[in-house]
Structure formats: structure tokens, C-alpha cells
Amino acid sequence: MSIATAPPAPPSAPSTVTTSPRSRHAAVTALHVLFWASVAMSVMLFVLWGGIATMVDLGSTMRGLGMITGLIGTDLVLVMLVLAARIPWLDQLIGHDTAIAYHRKLGKPALYLILAHAALLIGGAAVLDGFDVVGATITILTDLDNFLASIGLLLFVVVVVSSIVAAVRKWSYEAWYVIHLLSYIAIVLALPHQSIPGAVLADGSWRYAYWLTLYGIAFGSLLLFRVLLPVGRSLFHGLKVSRVEHIAPGVASIYLTGRRVESLRIRGGQYALWRFWGAKTWWHAHPISFSATPTPNTLRITVRDLGDGSRALTNVNPGTRVTFSGPFGIFTNQARTAPHAVLISAGIGVTPIRAFLEDAALSPGEATVILRHSGSDPTYLWDEIHALAEESGTRVIEMRGHRPPGTTTWISATASAEQLTLESMLPDLTDSDLYVCGPIAWTELVVRDARAAGVPNHQIHVEQFDW
């Protein structure tokens, strides 16, 4: 292990802390309150309609509970759509990866509630009809709106199951896109049966107007932020590949040129979802970090060959048109809450760290960078990290070599033999925002050690690229 330090500087004075932990916590708390308020309102729709008074026996009680579970389940699905819509203010508050994590957590509860909705309605009808389940089911499905809703339910089951399989097997963006397209169709198919005359969401009632507003917010957000805004930005900026520079075996920096790039307000540490319109690359979208701060007309991303898709990108032809969605992420200096910053990277995770360092305008002694490399392959962008660190007075620690065998640690065997830890390398650790980017399993080990050392969760920044 080696340590490279800029010329001696004061221990550090914070110069770029931009976010109060209290204000961010308050904003996140407000989001949770808004979510639970929407759930409560779903129940209140039933209560204000007079639904409690209709629950007079077993059959009507089951039917009433079926209405309530259906309302809550649909509300959760609409919340899921909003979380996946890539709304900029939501991304700046909690990060797109966190929003998608919440989106996925709601999937199973939403499915169970909608299944319960169907089962309770059929069961309630069967009880009221002399316990004839088959007859009750046939009667319900002979109504066109209910039949369409049942198709929507089947599609939603397919979506949830497929999403679980896709997450485990790491399917491509295109597979995710098809899966979620089915979910949108399922939600639309369910809408007509919710406006039955005399029911909770009777057409023309304020309750139905409220419900349609929720649909409008969810689908409007998807249309605006996932379709119209990316298409508009891509057309306006007109990005093309200007050159490809191979900086290490299997690693290439791709330079893009376009119009008014500075208007995107990209921050160091962010990423975008890229599509390169070449013969071998057009079919796949890639989440890739910016590896340098943009100039008025140029961008740079750095790609490593980690599979067929990224391999094709390292050989993309100059002149290839590029479309994008983004920028995304709060892996930036603007998320800082503490006086110091620690940036730890491994592998291709060096790219957002390098851009962060260039963008942050750090004071001497304010930040420390740890560069981790375990293999025999050449490093990449490390020379740029050192140059930027020298300009800002940032300490750089290089940690090379494989991890010690038979242990669960992120540090090298040499560092382990020297009994080095995060605390011993970083005296100001608990007064630092910690930014970690690298392979998922490795990143989790760094975060584990940081939490054990007493670093608060709000000072730990980890961002996994997500769609």
C-alpha cells in the first residue's frame, strides 16, 4: 500500500457542506407522511361513501373488505409508478436507486392486496349467493369491466413474478422495459371496473375525480420524465461520439460532443442512461457515470468491458448518435452533510469518484481518496485522480493487491497484515461523508466497516445504477 499526499496543508476546514441532515431527514419524513396519507385516504374513500354501513353480514363484510384491499392495492401500484418515473426533485432528494428500491418493496404488498381484493369479492358474492363460488365467479366475469380487470390482475401477477426472476438473473434493460409495459397495461385495464354506478368510485363523484387525479399524476409523470423529457433533451443536445480513447485493456473513455451541454447541470458523481445508435449497440441502454465534468459542448464517460453490451461500447464508431436519460443520482458533493469527505473506489467505480473530485472545489485537507486495485491489470484514471488531488490538496491512498484468503474484508492482504482499518487510515472518519463505488459485494464490506466505526447512515453514500 502507498500513500500519496499533496503538499502540507491545514487539517481541514469545511468549505463545501451543502446539505443539513435535519432538512434532508425532514423532507424524507414528509414523503413518508404523504405516502401513508394516500393509503389512509384510500380507506377514507370507502368510509365517506358509507361503506361501513353496508357491512351487515358475512357476505357484505367480505365484499366491503374486498373494496378496501382493492383501493389500497391500487394506491400502492400508483405510488410505485411515481417512484419509477425518474422525477428530478425526487431523484435529488433520495436518489433514483433508492426510489426504485422502494418501488420494488411495494410490489409484493400491492400484489397480495389486489389478490385479496379479488378473492374477497368473489367470496362475498358466493356467500350472498348460497356459497356458490363457481356461479359467483362466472357472474362477476360476465361483466366486461370485471373481465378486463381480471386480465389486468393476471398481467400484474406475471409482472411481479418476472421482476423477481429478472432481478435474480440480471436481465437487460429491454427485458425490464417489456415487463413494466405489461404493468402499465394491467393498471389501465383495471380502471373501468372501478367506476361502477353506486360504488365507492362512482362516475361523477368527487371520489372518482380524486382517483382519476392519482392516475393522472402517476401516468403523467411517467410520460413526462421517462419519455418526453429524455427525447426532447436528446434531440436538443444532439450528442454524437467524437472519439474513443482506449486507456487500458478492455477500458475506454468515450468523448461526446453536442449543443449546450452545460445546461444539463451535471454534477460530478452522477450518471445517465445511454443508448448508442450503432449497428451493434442500438438495442441496449447502459447506465454509465460521467467520468469528467462537462465542458460547454463535450461530455466524457468511461466504460469497462464487463460483457457483450459494454464490449461493443468500447469499440463504438465516431459519429454514432447518442440518446440519453438523466443525469441521475445524489452521489455528489451537494449531498454533503459533514466537514470532511472520504471517497473509496474499486474497478470502474473510479469514474464517479474522479468526476466528483473535479467538480467539488475542495479545500486543502478536506478530502481523502482511497483507490483499491486487486488485480494485475493496469489501473485507469488514477493518474487523473492524482493530478486533481494535487490541485486541491487532497490525500490519496493507494491500496493494491488481493484480499487475504479466507477472510471477509475489502482491504488488501498487505494492509490487513499491517492491521490497517478505516479508523486508522482516516482519523476524521466519523466527521466525514463517505462515498463508496465499486462491485456490490465489495461495497457492502466497506459500508459494514464504516457503520461499525460509527459513521451515521446519512453520511454514507452508495449508489447502484438502476432503471
Question: Which residue carries 485537507 as its cell?
Answer: 365
Of 388, 343, 340, nearest in space to 366 by CA? 340
Give the CA dihedral 374, 376, 378, 382, nearest 10 degrees. 30
Helices (H), 293-433: 308-313, 350-359, 382-392, 413-417, 422-425
Distance CA 71, CA 384 (A): 54
Residue 181 is placed in which grid cell? Answer: 409495459
Q: What is the mean pLDDT of residues 47-58?
A: 92
* ω into 10 cis (within 30 of 0): no
Of 149, 129, 136, nearest in space to 193 by CA? 149
What pLDDT, on the 0 to 100 scale, is given for residue 325? 94
Q: What is the mean pLDDT of residues 114-143?
A: 82
* Residues 387-390: contacts with CB under 8 Å, at least 24 apart: 388/354, 388/357, 388/358, 389/4, 389/6, 389/357, 390/6, 390/7
Give the CA dihedral 210, 78, 228, 301, nearest 10 degrees. 150
- Give the model confidence (pLDDT) of 415-455 as tens digits: 888 888 899 999 999 999 999 999 888 999 999 999 999 99
Using CB atoms within 10 A of its CB, is residue 459 exposed (0-12), middle (13-18) or buried (19+)? buried
Looking at this protein, which amino acid is placed at residue 269? G
365 DSSP 8-state letter: T
Cβ pair 115, 164 in contact under 8 A: no
Q: Which of 194-203, 338-347, 379-388 has the lowest mean pLDDT?
A: 194-203
- Give the model confidence (pLDDT) of 309-346 as tens digits: 677 888 899 999 999 999 998 899 988 889 999 999 99
Out of 3.40.50.300, 3.30.930.10, 3.40.50.80, 3.40.50.720, the CATH code matching 2-16+336-462 is 3.40.50.80
Determine what percent of the chain is predicted with pLDDT higher than 90. Answer: 52
User: Under CATH, what is the fold of the domain 238-328?
Assistant: Elongation Factor Tu (Ef-tu); domain 3 (2.40.30)
pLDDT band at 7 (very low <50, low <70, confident <90, very high): very low
Say whether 201 sits in a helix, a strand or coil: coil
Residue with the bigger pLDDT between 154 and 399: it is 399
Ranked by mean pLDDT, the top range of 16-30, 300-314, 414-428 is 414-428
Cβ pair 53, 189 in contact under 8 A: no
Distance CA 378, CA 465 (A): 25
- Give the model confidence (pLDDT) of 151-181 as tens digits: 888 887 877 777 666 554 565 656 666 777 7
